[in-house]
Structure 1
Amino acid sequence: MLGITLFGSSFYSKNKSSEAFTLGNNNLPAWVVGMSIFATFVSSISFIALPGNAFQSNWNAFVFSLSLPVASYMAVKFFVPLYRKINSPSAYTYLEYRFGPWARIYVSSCYLLTQIMRIGTILYLLALPVNLMFGWDITTVIIITGIAVMLYSLLGGIQGVIWTDAIQGIVLISGALFCLGYILFTIPGGPAQVFSIATQYNKFSLGSFSLSLSEPTFWVVLIYGIFINLQNYGIDQNYVQRYMASRTEQEAKRATFFGGMLYIPVSLLFFMIGTALFSYYTAMPEALPSTLQAADKSDQVFPYFIVNNLPPGFTGLLIAAIFAAGMSTISTGINSSATVVLIDYYQRFKKSKATDKQSLRVLYLTSLLVSILGIGIGIALIDVKSALDAWWKLASIFSGGMLGLFLLAAFVKQIHKLGAIAGVIAGILVILWLSLSPVLFADGPLQSLASPLHGYLTIVIGTIVIFLIGFLASVAAGKSQKKKVEV
């Protein structure tokens, strides 16, 4: 952590302008940007949760990764050229160009809320396994990690963030590869027994191929993955900023494709670790404490293995990998949030043109403020997790309208502003119903009003509603205007 903090902060001397802080003077190598995109995909949540998921059930969640080729193709074909043409550090300048200031403010404010919540959540979920493994105080881990990431994000700017992301990506891949190799060759029967036990218990299943929309079938997870990854590549500031930081459009395309495609084998690696752990503890059930054998404790099995089964030194490598996964996502969130505040609020609404010195001051202050808020939310999650879970869900509901609005802007040439507003309102209402109906209409006379669809389909249906209503309302508004002109 000390090494990463010092290395990331060393880019301070290269951040003498706001352009250097937000885009790295458009001079970052494609492989580094690609590794940064990959590291943004992987957080400490996935490092612990994916093996836990495979340990408990099967490879159904891996289908999410299989959706990446579709989203990566769309990014390379449409999104990267679009944003390079607009040439703005913010992902939301384009929405104002198409729909007016309301769209830019709506989407950027949703983005900022979800990023601050995400930073706090990852800090908390990073501290949790470390607390379980070593008994270290959760609050202390959150504060130290948050301050370390804040320092190099604030001092190093986007260059510090992207270069440290690349290093952290290499560390987390190395840690995961070693861990899988160690499990495969320490189980009594070797790799053959791992596959034999896993096959016996159907652990490699990708889920049901039925056409049911109320269960997480192969098709439901695949469609969900396509829409989530289109949202990431299409409207997420974290990704758009990396398109712009690349030297050329071709390098941006290569980096985008490489970063997305790299996540597929690495997520496969995480699922294989979970499956190998299942075989390991099935072959040697006495090695796993009875307290961790319950289904709701599956996320704790991998941390337990790291501490109790890996040789000294390699345990440290895996802890470093978990921290690397979390820190790379947090640093990206801090830098992108500061960029959004500068471009979409300060520079957009300041009456006189901001000087570069003023812009840098805003970037530094916003990075500091976002970091402090993230640390505060991480600490708050320890005691009031349920209340903040509800708040997080609400923020996700409103941010669910982001992708539909972007697709309207990108793929419908003649779009009316009122049509776009109508689409967003309709989409949010549908997303609210889909998200909250299991709670509001779980029992009683209104039970028939509950959504029959699986929760994964919320963003899918919400996006389709926004796109269709926005398009149809624009057509109607256009006809109405045409009639007035003819009269």
Structure 2
Amino acid sequence: MSGAFSGVDWTVLVVYFTATMALGFAFARRGGSSEGFTTGDRSLPGWVCGLSIFATYLSSISYLALPGKSFADNWNPFVFSLAIPLATLIAVTWFVPYYRASTEVSAYAALERRFGLWARIYVSLFYLLTQVARMGVVMYLMALPMQMLLGWDMATLILVTGVSVTIYSFVGGIAAVIWADAIQAIVLSAGAVACLAAMLWAIPGGPGTVMEVAAAGDKFSLGSWSLTEWGAPTVWVILLYGLVINLQNFGVDQSYVQRYIAADSDAAAKRSLWLGGLLYVPMSALFFFIGTTLFAYYQTRPETLTEVRAIVAEQRNAVAAPGGEPVVAADLTDADVGDRVFPYYIVTQMPAGLRGLLVAAVFAAAMSTVSTSLNSSATLILEDYYKRFLAPEAGDAAAVRVLRGATVAWGALGTGMALLLIRLTDSALDVWWMLASVFSGGIVGLFLLGMASRTNSAGAAVAVLCGLPAVAWMALSPTPLWPAALDDFRCTLHPNLTAVVGTVVILAVGFLAGIPPFGRRPEPLLPQTEAPG
């Protein structure tokens, strides 16, 4: 393989890595109190929080998996991004003002006041599970280019990254995480733009060739527009999935809520969400176009794609169960190698210096997301469990110890999840979307039920008890775990609709439970607010 790391590449990578770690220690004093660790003393500029939201969203899932999907198929997953503006508008209008007015750091304290303790614990538990899955997928994707570049063991790369990001999250708290995210957002954006420019320059005919090859392969298609194919990833399936998941992200996700709280004013908090949310739409389009450009590049150089298939076959055979059939490179499809084509291009074709910048960008994308997940998970462990059940009057020193202990624990769980994914053979984006659908567990549905219905605690509990079996049915029935005797009852809906169905079931049952004589008129979960400013 050509394109070994040069001294310039190592310099770029080491400088970036050292600066990121130093930033964590620079905020050590602010992270020494529980308020500083979880909210940054509510004093951070809106633009910094906005870049942090953007960087958190733009993880290595976006950096590597989106190009892999458009390389192997088309732009169908881009429909997910098109749902972001509507979700952002809803969150800015109703959710941000509430969280800014609340004295609680936990996003889920409101659910306890509205429906009882069970609702708070239910949502926070599913959130914590989601973060373990997210960190695992992000660190796994980060390790792919580094393995191709350095030849290191995947497990070693994941362990080094997991330990490093846990350290600076442990020391500096949310302020270190947000400021590091802002810097990482610039690094990863610059890296992506520079990479696309270099790729277009390397292809004979440049953008014209890319457009011609992509059009011939129908690469710009958003997918089917059918209103009857609910078992396929049609435009409508992905749009519904995107609306629910993005509303969950911007409206009820602890990671984002802490950024609204950390902003220095209400107006800054609203601007931060608009900035972070809307920046992602064109940037995701950029990554899809990188994948399309890679398709055109490999069409003109089929021998390099053969090398990628050989590498993937070797990796899969290395982790295969003893006695199994060996993977043959010639049998692999574009979908099998999709997540690897961009890392392979980076490490073999990029010039010295730029190659180091791009690898640093992949690190930036992973570290920003993992650090965010660590801080928000630690915050919930403190607020929703330790203070709620064990020590309601805990002092600040004890709270900081819990926060740092939880950071280490969740760092270990996320790293363990990444190690399990080393055997992954499917698209990382597909795996993440499936896990996100299942672990969301109808969270958005419960929040919306509290906002818009008259349902009391018992009615909401019945709604959740109906929603969870629907989620389990959609998740398990397509798998071998489903009993053969129940084959006639297997779900035929697309897996991305799991979160949508869970939300709809909870809302429908909950609204019915709110009809007199069962319902009452409790205080609304979120107050009426003025239009977004």
Give the TM-score normalised by structure 2: 0.85
Aligned residue type for 1:69: P
Aligned residue in 2 for 1:447? 487
Q: Percent identity?
A: 50
Q: What is the CA-CA distance between 1:44 and the residue it aligns to?
A: 1.1
Name the CA distance, whole Å, in 1 between partners of 2:519 and 2:22: 61
Output aligned runs, 1:252-401, within 5 Å: 252-289=269-306, 291-292=308-309, 294-295=333-334, 296-350=336-390, 353-382=393-422, 397=438, 399-401=440-442
SS of aligned partner of 1:397: helix
Q: What is the CA-CA distance between 1:235 and the residue it aligns to?
A: 1.6
Aligned residue in 2 for 1:106? 122
**Equivalent in 35, 44, 56 of residue 72 of structure 2:** 56
Aligned residue type for 2:60: S
Aligned residue in 1 for 2:196? 180
1:384 to 1:54, Cα distance in 2 relative to 1, 3 A: closer
* Kept in 2: contact 1:87–1:244 (CA 8 A): no
SS of aligned partner of 1:60: coil
The count of aligned residue pairs is: 478
1:450 to 1:291, Cα distance in 2 relative to 1, 3 A: same
1:442 to 1:342, Cα distance in 2 relative to 1, 3 A: closer
Name the CA distance, whole Å, in 1 between partners of 2:282 and 2:308: 32
Name the CA distance, whole Å, in 1 between partners of 2:189 and 2:42: 27
Q: Deviations along 1:400-422, whole A, 9 cap, x unmatched?
A: 2211111111222x221110000
Aligned residue type for 2:294: L
* Kept in 1: contact 2:115–2:460 (CA 8 A): yes
Q: Deviations along 1:146-179, whole A, 9 cap, x unmatched?
A: 1211111111110000000111111111111001
Aligned residue in 1 for 2:24? 8
Name the CA distance, whole Å, in 2 between partners of 1:157 and 1:338: 10
Q: Deviations along 1:342-386, whole A, 9 cap, x unmatched?
A: 111122224551111111121122112222232333334446999
SS of aligned partner of 2:477: helix
Aligned residue type for 1:316: G
Q: Gaps (5+ residues) in structure 1?
A: 482-487
* Kept in 1: contact 2:133–2:435 (CA 8 A): no
Aligned residue in 1 for 2:268? 251
Q: Which moved more, 1:258-267 or 1:341-350?
A: 341-350
Q: Deviations along 1:79-106, whole A, 9 cap, x unmatched?
A: 1012122231111101101011111111
**Equivalent in 443, 448, 452 of residue 402 of structure 1:** 443
1:311 to 1:467, Cα distance in 2 relative to 1, 3 A: same
* Kept in 2: contact 1:398–1:428 (CA 8 A): no
Aligned residue type for 1:215: A
Q: Which moved more, 1:128-137 or 1:308-317?
A: 128-137
Name the CA distance, whole Å, in 2 between partners of 1:366 and 1:171: 29
* Kept in 2: contact 1:165–1:328 (CA 8 A): yes
Aligned residue type for 2:496: Y
**Equivalent in 43, 48, 60 of residue 27 of structure 1:** 43
Name the CA distance, whole Å, in 2 between partners of 1:410 and 1:177: 41
Aligned residue type for 1:325: A
The 4+ residue runs of structure 1 with deviation greater than 4 A are 383-386, 389-396, 440-445
Q: What is the CA-CA distance between 1:395 and the residue it aligns to?
A: 8.6
Aligned residue in 1 for 2:329? none
Name the CA distance, whole Å, in 1 between partners of 2:342 and 2:424: 26
Name the CA distance, whole Å, in 2 between partners of 1:441 and 1:113: 21
1:461 to 1:35, Cα distance in 2 relative to 1, 3 A: same
Q: What is the CA-CA distance between 1:479 and the residue it aligns to?
A: 6.0
Aligned residue in 2 for 1:485? none
* Kept in 2: contact 1:416–1:477 (CA 8 A): no
Q: What is the CA-CA distance between 1:477 and the residue it aligns to?
A: 5.3
Aligned residue in 1 for 2:236? 219
Q: Deviations along 1:53-101, whole A, 9 cap, x unmatched?
A: 1111111111110000110000111110121222311111011010111
**Equivalent in 157, 164, 176 of residue 173 of structure 2:** 157
* Kept in 2: contact 1:52–1:274 (CA 8 A): yes
Q: Deviations along 1:454-479, whole A, 9 cap, x unmatched?
A: 11111111101101101211325536
SS of aligned partner of 1:141: helix
* Kept in 1: contact 2:434–2:495 (CA 8 A): no
Query: Per residue, is there more helix in 1 or in 2?
Result: 1
Q: Gaps (5+ residues) in structure 2?
A: 1-16, 310-331, 522-533
Q: What is the CA-CA distance between 1:290 and the residue it aligns to?
A: 5.4
1:264 to 1:384, Cα distance in 2 relative to 1, 3 A: closer
* Kept in 1: contact 2:514–2:520 (CA 8 A): no
Aligned residue type for 2:501: I
Q: What is the CA-CA distance between 1:442 and the residue it aligns to?
A: 7.9
* Kept in 1: contact 2:456–2:519 (CA 8 A): no
Aligned residue in 1 for 2:141? 125
Q: What is the CA-CA distance between 1:435 and the residue it aligns to?
A: 1.6
Q: Deviations along 1:197-232, whole A, 9 cap, x unmatched?
A: 111221111111111212111111111100110111
Aligned residue in 2 for 1:484? none
Name the CA distance, whole Å, in 2 between partners of 1:394 and 1:47: 19
SS of aligned partner of 1:63: helix
1:400 to 1:56, Cα distance in 2 relative to 1, 3 A: same
Q: Which moved more, 1:348-357 or 1:454-463?
A: 348-357
